[in-house]
C-alpha cells in the first residue's frame, strides 16, 4: 500500500514533462550552502533557524560523525527530539519505504518530524531526499565525501535492490541546507575525490550541449541559464588547474587550498551546473553502464568519466577527448573499457549498454543530432581505443 503511494507520489512530479514545453530559463539551488573545516560542530547552530521540534537523522552505517551532528543539534537546541535511522544497501524504493514506515510508526508517539538530516555518501543523501519529499519536511544534507554532485540537487538517482540504475526521481525544491565539512572530506580515500572529479568534469561538456541546442531541456524542466553554464565552465577550469594537486594532498590527508577548491567544484559548481545546465550523453552512458554487472563495483563518477570520453568521441571532438582522457588517466579514473572491467569483444554486453543509454527519456537525446545505439556503441569503442593510446603515450606517477 505505502509502496504504491511512494511510487505514485514520486512519479507525479516530472519537471521535464510538466514545464519543459514552456521553454522557461530555470535555475535551482539549495537555500544555503555552507563549506568549512570542522563545520559539523556548527550544524545545530544553523539548523536552529528552522525552529524544528523533531529532527530525524538518516545516516550511513559505520560513520561516527553522525554522533557529532546529533550532539551539535542538541547542544544548539535545534530540536527537542532526534531520531536516527541507518541506511545500508542501494538507494532503492524498498529502502525508502522501510525508513518511511519506521518513521511513521514512531511518529504515533512523538509527532511528525519537521526536518530530516541525511549524513553520508551520495546514495544516503539521495535516499534522504526521497524520504524528506515523502514526508514533505525540510532537508539538510551533510556529505561525507566529495564523490558526486548529488548534495545540492533536487533529484535522486534510484537503483534496483540489485544495483541497476532504475530512474531519476525529481522533487519540486532543492535541499534547505547543504553542510560541507571539508576536513571530513579531506580524510576520505582519494578514490572518492577522483570519482567526484570524473562526475564534475562531465558537467561542462553536457551543459555545453544543452546550452547550444535550443531543443535541449535541463533536469529542472527548463532551458539552461547563463549562470549555470558559467558555473559549469568554472568547474571544469578549477578541476584542470587544481584536480591533480588536490588528489595528491588528499592522499596525505591535507586540507590544502586545492582540496578546498576541488571540493567546492565537485559539490557546488557541478551540482548547480548539471541540474540547471543540463545533462547529455555522458550520464546516459553511465546509466547504460550500470546494467552491466561487471561495472558494479565502479563508482558513479568513474563510469561517468568514461561516458565523458565517449560523448566527446561521439561529437567528433577528438582533441578535447584526448585532453580529458589524459587528465583522467592522471587521476586514476577509467579511460578504457578494460578499466571498467569490460571487454571490447563483449559485443552483446556493450550493445545492451548502448541500447539502455538511448532509452526514449534519456538525456542523450539533448544532442542536436539523432543518437542511435549503434552510434553509442561505436563511440564507446572509439573512446576505448583513444584511452589505450593515452595509456601508452603517458607516463604516470
Ligand atoms: Zn553524476
Task: Report how far ligand 1's centroid is from the alpha carbon of 221 (Å).
Answer: 17
Whether the Cβ atoms of residue 42 and residue 72 lie closer than 8 Å to each other? yes
pLDDT in tens, 371-394: 999 999 999 999 999 999 999 999
Rounded to the nearest whole angstrom, what is the distance from the C-alpha of residue 271 to the centroid of ligand 1? 9
Supply the DSSP string of 108-144, one letter for each residue.
HHH---SEEEEEESHHHHHHHHHHHHHHT-EEEEEES
Given the candidates 1.20.1090.10, 3.40.50.300, 1.10.1040.10, 1.10.540.10, the CATH classification of the domain at 190-393 is: 1.20.1090.10
pLDDT score for 119: 95
Q: Give the other-Cβ count within 10 Å of 317's Cβ.
A: 15
Q: For residues 82-92, give the mean pLDDT.
A: 89
Report the C-alpha gap between 327 and 166 in whole angstroms: 30
- Residue 108's pLDDT band, with cuts at 50, 70 and 90, is confident
Query: What pLDDT, on the 0 to 100 scale, is given for residue 3?
Result: 43
Q: Tell me whether residue 257 is exposed, middle or buried, using C-beta atoms within 10 angstroms of its C-beta: 0 to 12, 13 to 18, 19 or more.
A: exposed
Q: Return d(Cα 109, Cα 87) in angstroms, integer.
A: 23
pLDDT(104) > 60: yes
CA of 77 from ligand 1 middle (Å) equals: 35
75 CA distance to ligand 1 middle (Å) = 35
Residues 6+ apart with CB under 8 A from 229: 207, 208, 211, 273, 277
- pLDDT at position 5 is 43
Residue 283 falls in the annotated catalytic set: yes
Choice among 199, 208, 260, 339 that is catalytic: 199
196, pLDDT greater than 90: yes
DSSP string of 32-46, one letter each residue: EEEEETTGGGGHHHH
The verdict on whether 339 is a catalytic residue reads no
315-331 tens-digit pLDDT: 999 999 999 999 999 99
Q: How far is the CA of 202 from the centre of ligand 1 (A)?
A: 8
pLDDT exceeds cutoff 80 at 64: no
The alpha carbon of 39 and the centre of ligand 1 are apart by a number of angstroms equal to: 25
**HSE of 349, CA atoms in CB hemisphere, 13 A:** 16
Residue 4 has pLDDT above 50, yes or no: no
Cell of 387: 584511452
Q: What confidence score (pLDDT) does residue 318 get?
A: 98
What confidence score (pLDDT) does residue 103 get?
93
| C-alpha to C-alpha distance for 312 and 233, rounded to whole angstroms | 16
Give residue 6's pLDDT.
45
CA distances from 352 to 120, 291, 346, 355 (A): 32, 8, 10, 5
| CATH assignment, 2-185 | 3.40.50.1970
Q: Picking from 64-68, 202-206, 211-215, which range would have the lowest pLDDT averaged per residue?
A: 64-68
- Statement: residue 11 has pLDDT above 60: no
Question: From the centroid of its chain, how far is CA 270?
Answer: 9
Please compute the mean of the pLDDT values over residues 294-316 and round it to a whole number: 96
Distance (Å) from CA 112 to ligand 1 centroid: 32
Q: Do 190-393 and 2-185 fall under one CATH topology?
A: no
Separation CA 49–CA 350 (nearest Å): 51
Q: What are the boundaries of each domain within the chain?
A: 2-185, 190-393
The pLDDT score that the predictor gives to residue 325 is 98
Residues 181-195, mean pLDDT to the nearest whole number: 94
108 CA to centre of ligand 1 in angstroms:
38
Q: Please, what is the average pLDDT of the chain?
A: 93
Confidence band, pLDDT 50/70/90 cuts, at residue 189? very high
State the cell numbers at 332.
Answer: 586514476
- Give the span between the Cα atoms of 262 and 65, in whole angstroms: 22
Average pLDDT over residues 93-121: 89
Q: 258-287: b or e for each residue (b if 16 or more CB lie within 10 Å)? A: bbbbbbbbbbbbbbbbbbbbbbbbbbbbbb
> Is the pLDDT score of 242 beyond 80?
yes
pLDDT in tens, 129-162: 999 999 999 999 999 998 888 999 999 999 998 8
Q: Which of 166, 276, 143, 163 is nearest to 221 (CA)?
A: 276
Q: What is the pLDDT of residue 66?
A: 84
Is residue 77 predicted with pLDDT exceeding 90? yes
- 212 in active site: no
Instruction: Assess contact for 381 and 349: CB atoms under 8 A.
Output: no
Q: How far is the CA of 3 from the centre of ligand 1 (A)?
A: 26
Rg (CA), the chain: 20
- Separation of CA 287 and ligand 1 centre (Å): 10
Among 54, 242, 286, 292, the active-site one is 286
pLDDT at residue 29, as a whole number: 97
H or E element: which one contains 356?
Answer: helix 347-357
Residue 63: its pLDDT value, please? 75
Sign of CA dihedral 193, 198, 200, 201: positive
Q: What is the pLDDT of residues 243-300, one digit of tens each?
A: 999 999 999 999 999 999 999 999 999 999 999 999 999 999 999 999 999 998 999 9
pLDDT band at 163 (very low <50, low <70, confident <90, very high): confident
Note if 296 is an active site residue.
Answer: no
State which residues have CB under 5 angstroms from ligand 1, the bound ion.
199
Q: In this predicted structure, what is the pLDDT of residue 1? A: 36
| Interval 169-174 mean pLDDT | 94
Q: Which of 54, 283, 292, 365 is catalytic?
A: 283
Spacing, Cα 293 to ligand 1 middle (Å): 19
Mean pLDDT of all residues in 100-109: 85
Express each pLDDT in 347-357 by its tens digit: 999 999 999 99
Point out the catalytic residue in the list 54, 242, 292, 300. Answer: 300
The bridge status of strand 115-120 relative to strand 165-170 is: unpaired
Amino acid at each position: 500500500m505505502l509502496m504504491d503511494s511512494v511510487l505514485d507520489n514520486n512519479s507525479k512530479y516530472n519537471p521535464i514533462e510538466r514545464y519543459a514545453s514552456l521553454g522557461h530559463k530555470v535555475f535551482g539551488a539549495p537555500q544555503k550552502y555552507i563549506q568549512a573545516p570542522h563545520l559539523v560542530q556548527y550544524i545545530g547552530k544553523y539548523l536552529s533557524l528552522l525552529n524544528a521540534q523533531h529532527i530525524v537523522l538518516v545516516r550511513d552505517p559505520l560513520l561516527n560523525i553522525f554522533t557529532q551532528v546529533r550532539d551539535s543539534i542538541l547542544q544548539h537546541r535545534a530540536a527537542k527530539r532526534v531520531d536516527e535511522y541507518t541506511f545500508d544497501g542501494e538507494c532503492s524504493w524498498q529502502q525508502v519505504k522501510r525508513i518511511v514506515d519506521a518513521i511513521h510508526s514512531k511518529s504515533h508517539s512523538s509527532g511528525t518530524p519537521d526536518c530530516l538530516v541525511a549524513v553520508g555518501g551520495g546514495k544516503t543523501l539521495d535516499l534522504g531526499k526521497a524520504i524528506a519529499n515523502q514526508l514533505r519536511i525540510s532537508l539538510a544534507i551533510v556529505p561525507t565525501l566529495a564523490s558526486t554532485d548529488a548534495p545540492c540537487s533536487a533529484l535522486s538517482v534510484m537503483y534496483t535492490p540489485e544495483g541497476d540504475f532504475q530512474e531519476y526521481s525529481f522533487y519540486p525544491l532543492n535541499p534547505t541546507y547543504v553542510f560541507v565539512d571539508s576536513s571530513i572530506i579531506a580524510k576520505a580515500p582519494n578514490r572518492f575525490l577522483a570519482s567526484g572529479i570524473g562526475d564534475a568534469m562531465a558537467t561542462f561538456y553536457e551543459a555545453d550541449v544543452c546550452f547550444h541546442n535550443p531543443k535541449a531541456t535541463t533536469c529542472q524542466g527548463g532551458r539552461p541559464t547563463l549562470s549555470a553554464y558559467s558555473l559549469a565552465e568554472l568547474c571544469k577550469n578549477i578541476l584542470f588547474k587544481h584536480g591533480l594537486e588536490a588528489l595528491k594532498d588528499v592522499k596525505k590527508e591535507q586540507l590544502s587550498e586545492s582540496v578546498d577548491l576541488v571540493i567546492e567544484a565537485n559539490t557546488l559548481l557541478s551540482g548547480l551546473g548539471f541540474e540547471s545546465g543540463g545533462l547529455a550523453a555522458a550520464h546516459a552512458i553511465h546509466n547504460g553502464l550500470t546494467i552491466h554487472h561487471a561495472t558494479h563495483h565502479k563508482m558513479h563518477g568513474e563510469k561517468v568519466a568514461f561516458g565523458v570520453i565517449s560523448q566527446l568521441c561521439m561529437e567528433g571532438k577528438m582533441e578535447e577527448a584526448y585532453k580529458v582522457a589524459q587528465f583522467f588517466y592522471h587521476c586514476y579514473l577509467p579511460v578504457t573499457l578494460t578499466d571498467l572491467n569490460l571487454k571490447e569483444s563483449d559485443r552483446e554486453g556493450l550493445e545492451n549498454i548502448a541500447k539502455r543509454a538511448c532509452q526514449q527519456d534519456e538525456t542523450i537525446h539533448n544532442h542536436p543530432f539523432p543518437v542511435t545505439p549503434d552510434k553509442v556503441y561505436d563511440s564507446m569503442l572509439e573512446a576505448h581505443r583513444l584511452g589505450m593510446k593515452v595509456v601508452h603515450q603517458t607516463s604516470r606517477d
